[in-house]
Amino acid sequence: MNRVVAMILAGGASERLSILSAERAKPAVPFGGKYRIIDFSLSNCVNSGIYNVAVLTQYNPRSLTQHIGIGRPWDLDRATGGVVLLQPFLSRSTRDWYKGTADAVYQNLYFIEDQRVDEVLILSGDHIYTMRYDHMISTHRTRRADVTVAVTEVPLSEVSRFGIITLDHNEHVISFQEKPKTAKSNLASMGIYVFDKSVLVNCLEEYAQREGGHDFGHDILPEIIGKHKVYGYRYRGYWRDVGTVESYWQANMDLIVDLPDLNLYDPAAEIRTVHRDKPPAKLGLNAQISRSLVSNGAIINGRVEGSVISPSVFIEDGAVVTDSIIFDDTTVGRGAVVDRSIVDKQVWISPGCYIGYGDDLAPNKEEPENLNAGITIVGKGARIPGDVKIGRNCKIGCWVEGADFPSKVIPSGESVASKAPRRHPL
């Protein structure tokens, strides 16, 4: 695989993840207690023997840049190849912010043209899955394809969320529909493409000569069907686009059950990440834990059920956490309850609080399209005062403090925002 360069698209803002991506790029959002979302794409590359990787960043790149560093956890700190971070830049030419996935790669064609490679592997940095890209690339070469698109089956009821591809009996791509209301096929594009280098360069140079869209799926792929040899590559393992609060929550919950296609303990498909020195998890005398993931450095004195607990989380005596995701360095105070919620880093939940209270599932008034599955989210650095009850589909902003809460009860669908100036994102 030394004749392949991987381009990981990691610049998206992802408003659909609400405040979880307010201060970080979507691929940098913590996942599964100890990982970041981008760890899956990076690990898939090295597990496939691909050590020439470029990460295209843009939105709030600081935490993503710090996380990747020189790529040592993924064995990408190499003199030849390795990982490089590419950011949009302004110069005397026409460079500008990336306008879409295709535009992001086009603005970095100089990098691709400098690579002594035969194929370019284009990936999204915000999906959860384990995949051997070398198998896909070998199939691409055997077929003498110009372009290969990874596809996976999704329920027919969900085709409107994806780009849907139809294949003929030889696995040629014969049609592509972007998020159709109904479709005869249920093969969704995974946003994973193998291009012959010369074909990619020609396609993007042609794209640059005209006005129009800026995405591979929506704009480039439909145009090259029939012009080039485009094949599908069927993937039958676990894959989830964690682009919504509900899908992100569900992907974390999937880690708790025994899914053969999502096995974090398989050494052949190891998901690598930055390992920070933490002491072992500590369970107190009254701790009760079931169906959960608990990371190093966590101290559990209360009850945890069906939840993902990140490093250095402190759950005090009498506290109850159910069906929730708790990010690093958060404290859940004595007697507090957190139910079906996502709580970001460095949050302080005071004693007696109840996060995810009641049965009212009214959508969030500010973000009804993002917060409507009964999941309440609490932003980074928030401090929840004692005995506050927060309902379902609520949004508690980053860095809120006691003075920001209008009352002791925040009804379902409401939001609380900080009145202080916004802090610099980390």
Average confidence (pLDDT) over 123-130: 94
Is residue 328 predicted with pLDDT exceeding 90?
Answer: yes
Average confidence (pLDDT) over 41-54: 97
CA–CA dist 288, 305 (Å, integer) = 8
Q: What is the mean pLDDT of the chain?
A: 92
**E strand or H helix at 354, and its extent?**
strand 354-355
What is the DSSP code string of 17-42?
GGGGGSSS-GGGSEETTTEETHHHHH
- Residue 234 has which token pair? 């069927």
Could you tell me which residue, 218 or 139, shows the higher pLDDT?
139
pLDDT at 276: 80
pLDDT at 94: 54
Is residue 233 predicted with pLDDT exceeding 70?
Answer: yes
Interstrand relation of 282-283 and 299-300 (parallel, antiparallel or unpaired): parallel
CA–CA dist 76, 99 (Å, integer) = 28
pLDDT at 384: 98
**E strand or H helix at 205, and its extent?**
helix 197-208
pLDDT at 90: 53
Average confidence (pLDDT) over 143-169: 94
pLDDT at 353: 98
What is the DSSP code string of 93-153?
SS--S--SHHHHHHTTHHHHHHS--SEEEEEESSEEE---HHHHHHHHHHHT-SEEEEEEE
pLDDT at 426: 45
Is residue 96 predicted with pLDDT exceeding 70?
Answer: no
417's CB contacts (< 8 A; 6+ apart) are 397, 400, 404
Band of residue 259 on the pLDDT scale cut at 50, 70, 90: confident
Q: What is the distance, to the nearest Å, from the Cα of residue 32 to the centroid of all Cα atoms in its chain?
A: 11
Query: What pLDDT digit, counting tens, does each position of 186-214 carry?
Result: 999 999 999 999 999 999 988 777 766 67
pLDDT at 421: 67
pLDDT at 284: 95
Residue whose tokens read 């009352």: 407
Q: What is the pTM of this model?
A: 0.93
Could you tell me which residue, 13 or 4, shows the higher pLDDT?
4
Average confidence (pLDDT) over 222-244: 93
pLDDT at 99: 75
Terminal-residue alpha carbon distance, the chain: 35
Least confident of 62-76, 93-107, 170-184, 279-293: 93-107
pLDDT at 92: 44
Average confidence (pLDDT) over 288-315: 97
pLDDT at 1: 81
Give the DSSP letter of residue 172. B
117's CB contacts (< 8 A; 6+ apart) are 3, 4, 5, 52, 197
Band of residue 265 on the pLDDT scale cut at 50, 70, 90: confident
3-class secondary-structure state, position 192:
strand
Query: Largest Cα–Cα distance of the chain, in whole Å?
Result: 68
Is residue 363 predicted with pLDDT exceeding 80?
Answer: yes
Full set of structural domains in the chain with CATH: 4-269 (3.90.550.10), 282-416 (2.160.10.10)
Least confident of 96-105, 169-178, 400-409: 96-105
pLDDT at 425: 47
